[in-house]
Amino acid sequence: MMAFARKVWKLLVAIKDGLVLLFMLLFFAALYAVLTFRPMAASVQEGALLVGLDGVVVEEPQRADPFSMFLSTSTPIREHRARDVVRAIEGAATDERIKAVVLDLDYFLGGGQVHMSEIGKALDKVRAAKKPVLAHAIAYTGDSMQLAAHASEVWVDPLGGAPVAGPGGTYLFFGNIAERLKVNVHVYRTGEYKSAVEPYTLTGFSDAARSDISGTYESLWEDWLDEVRTARPKAQVRQVATDPVASIRAAGGNGAQAALKTGLVDRIGSYEDFSLRVAELVGGDPEAPDEPHGFAHTYYDDWVKAVAPSQAGSAIGVITVAGSIVDGEAGPGTAGGDRIAALLDDALQDDLAALVVRVDSPGGSVTASERIRQAILRHKASGIPVVVSMANVAASGGYYVATPGDAIFADPATITGSIGVFLAVPSAENALPEWGVTTDSIRTTPLSGQPDLLGGFTPEMDAILQSQVEHSYDLFLGLVSDSRNISTARLRSDIAAGRTWAGGPARQVGLIDRFGNMDEALAYAAQKAGLSAGEWHAEYIEDEPDAFTAFFEAMAAPEESTDDGDMVSVLMARRDMAAGRSLADITALLDRPRMQARCFACPSMPTAQAAGDEKPLSRLILSRLGL
């Protein structure tokens, strides 16, 4: 028996040693692969440019976290950099190898209205070059319809439709739960329109905030309608949006037929049918004729990698401030103040001819916004022009960092303004007695032990915090007044106080200078630097991913999805992302209370991160309240 046990033991030890050796070999092989990783050279083949927008379109994609990828049980949502999509489509207009542009929007989960407009203008250039643009989707909603309107052929799946919806939606308010939990939320703010604090104390928007936000959304909606009707004049867009039930009933409940009859789409067909149609125009794919994309094509990101932008002439630096502005090194995809300031300071050595600040942010931390502003001012002090280009949102802290600009460019659909500061701090002096815990205080001064999150704030503490918020607001107003040449009195009465502005009204009141996209902002900066066309190039000031991260980003990049689905599944996926963004906004505000210049009511930009939080709502709220 002992001899048999020894043999079993030796066998187990041998298996263990073998597994250890195997894992060591795999580890060192993976380490070698990471250290020697080089992206495969991309090539462009004759055929279609395939723009497969599975996921979301963003200003600046987030960096992949390899450890989170290991632990995650879900497929990563792809983030498409807007400028890469635009460059590839514009390049297709003049690239003789590209015969058509194909938009695969089957699993498109959203993008900002300004980004959609920029991509739409690029598609117009393709059509002006007499090249067809074809689009296919399971369901067209606001942003995907905005893109598809610029196509020469719009297809929809037989199980799909086009339920067009304007901007707006549901926001979370925690006034009742705070009262029920007896959590005292101390709110300090400036301006009656600064709605970012209302979720803590109210059960819905105040009249002032509702009026302000509704007016801004109406401006966005009219801009959207104008673009879609101009691109697709025969489509009954407004009728479908305002009375969505009528067109569906007229088509016997068939969403695809309703979209066809109202002129929103041209043809009904599966993606396979759509692929056959594209193959008629550009030829079949000789390497994979049976694949869902059975036509000759080049993915747009391969085109971007294969065709490098010109580096001729002087460099005009471009720094991106995208996502919530936070203290520290966060990003890309989040505007970490320390990270962006360091990038700008490093670029001081690069002999830039001008600087363009690209902003797509609802704001955030006041201190981080100031860090970024000071770094921009250091470039301005070197004597170069500084121009601001606003994307979808440049509000509150996003406008704060724009104040050093010599000129501000924006789109009519840009959301800006929201000039104000607030602070919200929860305390538990009313909640603790419910658990049998009481507090008592011994103070030598009114500020002893303050701010006290357990025993409550003294009146003196409240007064000091409100004074700090008002002081920061005064500084904010001063910056805007100096940069825009608007009196602080007018700012207080008509423009600031937390009001949000769409691009058109913002230009009328003087918050922006002119309408224009990133290219026009760059051209203006070059002109101010004394450079003519061909004498300059854009140089993006950004972090380069390390080899380890780049390896896993390449390994994890999802292919364009071809899974089956219907209109409801696509709409629910989009709603899940919207709910995730709302929760992310609220939890960000509750995390480590600090003074913030943030626009709560600005339309949240889609991100993969917002869709990844699977914590139950109740647990999230309680954990943030410290209960």
Residue 164's domain comprises 47-168+216-306
| Confidence bin at 164 (pLDDT 50/70/90) | confident
Tokens found for residue 124: 């117009």
| SS3 (DSSP) at 385 | coil
Of 346 and 596, the one with more pLDDT: 346
pLDDT tens for residues 519-552? Answer: 999 999 999 999 998 899 999 999 876 655 555 5
Q: Is this model's pTM higher than 0.95 or not?
A: no
Output the CA torsion 276→281→285→286 (10° steps).
Answer: 120
High-pLDDT (> 90) share of the chain, %: 55
564-594 burial, b at 16+ Cβ within 10 Å, e below that, comes to ebebeebbebbeebbbbbbbbbbebbbeebb
Task: Check whether 359 has a pLDDT greater than 70.
Answer: yes
Tokens found for residue 604: 């949240």
pLDDT at 182: 87
Q: 440 in a domain, yes or no? A: no
pLDDT at 616: 41
Cis peptide before 332 (omega within 30 of 0): yes
| Confidence bin at 617 (pLDDT 50/70/90) | very low
Least confidently predicted of 97-101, 196-200, 308-312, 607-611: 607-611
Q: 259 in a domain, yes or no? A: yes
**Averaged pLDDT, 357-362:** 96
Q: What H or E segment, with its residue span, contains residue 61?
A: none
Of 436 and 611, the one with more pLDDT: 436
Task: Check whether 428 has a pLDDT greater than 70.
Answer: yes
pLDDT at 622: 38
Closest CA to 144 of 173, 176, 119, 124: 119
- Where do we find the tokens 């309107």? 149
pLDDT at 435: 87
pLDDT at 321: 97
pLDDT tens for residues 556-576? Answer: 554 444 445 565 655 655 555
> Helices (DSSP H) in 232-365: which residue ranges?
237-242, 244-250, 255-261, 271-282, 300-306, 337-347
What's the whole-number average pLDDT of the chain?
84
| SS3 (DSSP) at 318 | strand
pLDDT tens for residues 204-237? Answer: 888 888 888 899 999 999 999 999 999 999 999 9
**Averaged pLDDT, 382-395:** 96
d(CA 92, CA 94): 5
485, burial (CB in 10 Å: exposed 0-12, middle 13-18, buried 19+)? exposed
Q: 484 in a domain, yes or no? A: no
pLDDT tens for residues 500-510? Answer: 999 999 999 99
**Averaged pLDDT, 103-124:** 95
Q: Which of 31-35, 182-186, 390-394, 559-563 has the highest mean pLDDT?
A: 390-394
Task: Check whether 197 has a pLDDT greater than 70.
Answer: yes
Task: Check whether 434 has a pLDDT greater than 90.
Answer: no
pLDDT at 612: 42
pLDDT at 618: 38
d(CA 422, CA 420): 7
Tokens found for residue 29: 């092989």
Helix-then-strand count for the chain, H and E: 23, 23
Closest CA to 325 of 10, 24, 598: 598
pLDDT at 624: 39
Strand partners, 501: 416
| Confidence bin at 607 (pLDDT 50/70/90) | low
Q: 392 in a domain, yes or no? A: no
Q: 84 in a domain, yes or no? A: yes
Of 139 and 599, the one with more pLDDT: 139
Instruction: Write the single-letter amino acid at 466.
Output: Q
Least confidently predicted of 286-290, 342-346, 463-467: 286-290
d(CA 384, CA 354): 5
Task: Check whether 92 has a pLDDT greater than 90.
Answer: yes
Tokens found for residue 320: 């991106």
Greatest CA separation for the chain: 96
pLDDT at 505: 94
* Total domain count, the chain: 1
Least confidently predicted of 125-139, 575-589, 605-619: 605-619
- 10 Å Cβ neighbour count for 243? 12
Of 616 and 271, the one with more pLDDT: 271
Task: Check whether 610 has a pLDDT greater than 50.
Answer: no
Task: Check whether 77 has a pLDDT greater than 90.
Answer: no
Q: 344 in a domain, yes or no? A: no
Of 188 and 191, the one with more pLDDT: 188
**Rg for the chain, CA atoms, rounded:** 27
* φ and ψ of 206, to 5 deg: -70, 165
Least confidently predicted of 152-166, 272-286, 612-626: 612-626
Q: 91 in a domain, yes or no? A: yes
pLDDT tens for residues 435-470? Answer: 888 888 888 998 888 888 888 899 999 999 999 999
Task: Check whether 319 has a pLDDT greater than 90.
Answer: yes
Q: What H or E segment, with its residue span, contains residue 507?
A: helix 503-509
Strand partners, 515: 410
Q: 108: domain CATH number?
A: 3.90.226.10
Task: Check whether 555 has a pLDDT greater than 80.
Answer: no
Q: Which residues have a Cβ under 8 Å from the Cβ of 172 and sit 6 or more positions away? A: 199, 582, 583, 586
